[in-house]
Amino acid sequence: MRVARTARTTTDYEATTGRIAGLPLRRHHVLLTAWTVLWFLLVEPSGGFSWHYLRQGEQLLFSGQPDGGLSLYAHHPELQIGPVSLAAARLTAPFAPHTGELIAEAVSAGLGLVMLVVVGRTAALYYLGTGTNHRRLQQRLLIAGLAFIPMWVEVSVRFAHLDDVLALFFTTLAAHALARGKPVQVAVFLALAVDSKPWAIAFAPLILALPRPAWLRTALWFCALVAIAWLPFYLGNLDTMAAAKFTIPNQPASALRWFGVTDPATPWWDRPTQFALGIGLGCVAVWRGRWPAVVLLGADARILLDPSVYTYYTASILLGTLLWDAVGQKRLVPWWSWIALAALYGGTLLLPSDAARGFVRLAFVVVSAGYVLFWPTQRSRRQRPGAPGDGGSGGTGRRGGRGGRRRERALAGAGV
């Protein structure tokens, strides 16, 4: 009898967590892995478009040349790459150039799968104590992941933008740490994101989603770790300040054109406004109790005001929609992930004119920002992550007392 009960319990656990034949594998993970490998094989032959910037940057950073070291950004403002990313690129230096590039692309593509797992566990923790249906969450994550992976391969393989990859990866870890109520980890991961790519500063409002007593300590950790990475360059060569003024062409398909901005290059006010808008929208999201929207809103600000329209920008949008679809709401079908893919990537390929592509970018930002900030959502919670009573005592749904919450916590750690 006991054997039968144990076997039935094991079968129920495997059914709930989606395990395959008792192995530490989930069905949706296997499918997403196969999907990633397929896209990697399709894109890799034409990949590595921007890898030479990472290679050049890491060689200069660790060289004794006059235009390298702490003078890197002063002499090469076009290298808008954080020092953490250049240090990571340095790990490929012992290999032949093509081999190093291939390793970086493969690892970056693999980080996309890790991020999907982390987002799933973030959602499970966020809804801990609310009777979360883990199979339904796995299905939602699978459907959203099928949209996320093509754009992730775009940034990680086709363009080989290791800096963007690391910025988004560390931001995902910060969101997970937030769901776990770990303030110092939130600060560390957000700082690493900014130290990988400066535009990740737009995700800093995640700090405000922590309990208020933790704000000051977390902000101090964040500022200190950002300063440790960047201040040596500014103190080593004061001309590094000029790197912040580096401009790129204002492309005809940019949403800026719809605001009447026809300057041939980046207007002087564009970058500060971009950061201010992303941070401001993120603060509003947290104030509205919708911190899972912070990444999407920060990415929205980027594509709205950036003069360039590279397709790899869409990867940050897809991470934002992934977090929103998995954590911010409980609908089975993650509509926003597929809307973003169709509008921003499909529109780039199918729309005939630059003006039409720019309008689609503008429309997506306005509609998606309005939706995540103001549209009613189906949620069972919400206190701030880590707040007293958070993590099981304050939701609705089937909780089943302490034992039920313990079971849900185990599932949150192992099933998604």
pLDDT of 8 reads 47
pLDDT of 370 reads 97
Confidence band (pLDDT; 50, 70, 90) for 382?
very low
Is the pLDDT reported for residue 406 higher than 80?
no
Residue 89 · residue 67 · CB < 8 Å: no
Q: What is the largest distance, in Å, between two alpha-carbon atoms of the chain?
A: 78
Instruction: Give the residue, 295 or 399, on which the prediction is more confident.
Output: 295
pLDDT (mean) for 251-267: 92
- The model's pTM: 0.89
Tell me if residue 336 falls in helix, strand or coil. Answer: helix
Q: Which of 168, 192, 191, 184 has the alpha carbon at shortest distance from 118?
A: 168
Is the pLDDT reported for residue 331 higher than 90?
no
pLDDT of 391 reads 35
Is the pLDDT reported for residue 85 higher than 50?
yes
pLDDT of 22 reads 52
pLDDT (mean) for 277-306: 97
pLDDT (mean) for 153-165: 97
Q: What angle do CA 183, 313, 190 make, to 5 degrees?
A: 10
pLDDT of 3 reads 42
pLDDT of 131 reads 73
How far is Cα 31 from Cα 170, in angstroms, rounded to an integer?
A: 24
pLDDT of 325 reads 95
C-beta atoms surrounding 133 within 10 Å: 16
pLDDT of 241 reads 84
Lowest mean pLDDT among 167-176, 331-340, 380-389: 380-389
> Could you read off the pLDDT of 25-83 as tens digits, one per residue?
778 899 999 999 999 999 999 999 999 999 999 999 998 888 999 999 999 999 999 99
User: Hey, where are the domains in the chain?
Assistant: 28-376
pLDDT of 175 reads 98
pLDDT of 188 reads 98
pLDDT (mean) for 252-259: 93
pLDDT (mean) for 319-333: 92
Is the pLDDT reported for residue 106 higher than 60?
yes
Average pLDDT over the chain reads 87
pLDDT of 17 reads 52
- Report phi then psi at 19, rounded to 5: -65, 155
Task: Express as a percent the part of the chain with pLDDT over 70.
Answer: 85
C-alpha dihedral over 144, 146, 152, 157, to 10 degrees? 170
Is the pLDDT reported for residue 289 higher than 80?
yes
> Could you read off the pLDDT of 172-189 as tens digits, one per residue?
999 999 999 999 999 999
pLDDT of 398 reads 38
How far is Cα 51 from Cα 274, in angstroms, rounded to an integer?
A: 26
First-residue to last-residue Cα distance in the chain: 31
How far is Cα 180 from Cα 175, in angstroms, rounded to an integer?
A: 9
How far is Cα 65 from Cα 14, in angstroms, rounded to an integer?
A: 58
pLDDT of 381 reads 47
- Report phi then psi at 20, rounded to 5: -105, 110
Instruction: Give the residue, 303 or 377, on which the prediction is more confident.
Output: 303
How far is Cα 143 from Cα 77, in angstroms, rounded to an integer?
A: 40
Q: Residue 23 has which token pair? A: 């192995």
